[in-house]
Structure 1
Amino acid sequence: MEYILNTLTKKVEVDSIIKDTIDKVLVLRFGRSSDPLSLQLDDILCKSVREVSKFATVALVDIDSEDVQVYVKYFDITLAPSIVFFFNAHHMKMDSGSADHTKWVGAFQRKQDFIDVVEAIFRGAMKGKLIVTCPLPPERIPKFQLLYKDV
């Protein structure tokens, strides 16, 4: 069964889902519905949403929406798709071997990889951690050349 994911286009929608998602991991996918890699990721998210529903909420954020640019800038979303994780309104970070621990950049290779990552974040958050180690082997983590603007 396919699920339709909620797409957020306004800052107030993003603010309220962050504030209102309690005791679950909030998965915010920043991307574009016209981007093939975003669509590949969305497909994996849709197929996984039922399995993670007990401990995670998944929503899409349209990075071309004028009203969410404050988040796009704050999380330095220069590559789409990117996923930002929250738990009880706290930004959750993940060490996946790159210089940037603030977000997951790119798509997951398979559904189980996404489920494993969200589960690791949930377990870490339940222990009070704000940063967790990525449970995936390095070869299944997308590699991107990070471009830092204005450095």
Structure 2
Amino acid sequence: MSGFLLPTLTTKRDVDSIIRDTLDTVLLLRFGRAADFLCLHLDDIVPSLLPLFLFFSLFLNLSLTCCGLLHPQLSKSAWKVSKFANIALVDADAEEVQVYLNYFDITLLPSTVFFFNAHHMKMDSGTPDHTKWVGSFYTKQDLIDVLEAIFRGAMKGKLIVRCPLPPERIPKYRLLFKDV
């Protein structure tokens, strides 16, 4: 189970209600799979899987830094940001949640979406997509800094904020479009 400390949402009704009912705090929704390694790392379940990952990394040419394995974030940071942010996990394999995956165009997992008072908060991080954070954060402090920037911007009435992280700590990816 990927979120023993964090609520895991599997229905559209649960996602709708948490978005609607979270007031005056930032809501972080992490879309991912319970069996995905990066999602487990982001949720802080991975330390026991480290030897297994190291074994398979020899065959798959994976590195610890590309996966962001050095710093688990969500469950360890939840209590630190509890005064201004709530964190919930959304199971991307759940049938009812596919509406949100299509709406936010979530194809890469884990993806993180932010809300404040039921408004979707966007972040300009220098990537082509401002609607979500794709991938894992490198450190817990990176996650806390992003949540704090979104909270401060939302309190000023902004719907898009600048990412406080330096470019080297922002995951890079390429968008691929179908039928273009």
Query: Normalized against structure 2, the TM-score is what?
Result: 0.81
Pair 1:141-2:170 in alignment: yes
Using the TM superposition, give the Cα deviation of residue 150 of structure 1 relative to its aligned residue in structure 2, in angstroms. Answer: 4.8
Aligned partners of 1:3 and 1:47 also within 8 Å: no
Deviations 1:9-40 (A, max 9, x none): 00000000000000000000000111111111
Aligned-partner residue type, residue 89 of structure 2: L
Residue in 1 that maps onto 2:31: 30
Query: Normalized against structure 1, the TM-score is what?
Result: 0.96
Aligned-partner residue type, residue 70 of structure 1: V
Tell me the number of residue pairs that the alignment of Structure 1 and Structure 2 aligns.
150
Distance (whole Å) between structure 2 residues aligned to residue 147 and residue 115 of structure 1: 30
Distance (whole Å) between structure 2 residues aligned to residue 70 and residue 3 of structure 1: 25
Deviations 1:86-108 (A, max 9, x none): 00000000000011000000000
Pair 1:110-2:111 in alignment: no
Distance (whole Å) between structure 1 residues aligned to residue 108 and residue 149 of structure 2: 23
SS at match of 1:116: helix
- Mark the runs of 5 or more structure 2 residues left unpaired by the alignment: 45-72
Pair 1:125-2:125 in alignment: no
Distance (whole Å) between structure 2 residues aligned to residue 148 and residue 115 of structure 1: 32
Deviations 1:71-91 (A, max 9, x none): 010000100000000000000
Using the TM superposition, give the Cα deviation of residue 147 of structure 1 relative to its aligned residue in structure 2, in angstroms. Answer: 2.0
Using the TM superposition, give the Cα deviation of residue 3 of structure 1 relative to its aligned residue in structure 2, in angstroms. Answer: 6.7
CA RMSD after TM alignment: 1.3
Question: Comparing both structures, which one devotes a greater share of its residues to strand?
Answer: 1
Distance (whole Å) between structure 2 residues aligned to residue 149 and residue 55 of structure 1: 38
Residue in 1 that maps onto 2:79: 50
Residue in 2 that maps onto 1:91: 120
Distance (whole Å) between structure 2 residues aligned to residue 14 and residue 106 of structure 1: 21
Aligned-partner residue type, residue 34 of structure 1: A
SS at match of 2:138: coil
Aligned partners of 1:3 and 1:49 also within 8 Å: no
- Mark the runs of 5 or more structure 1 residues left unpaired by the alignment: none
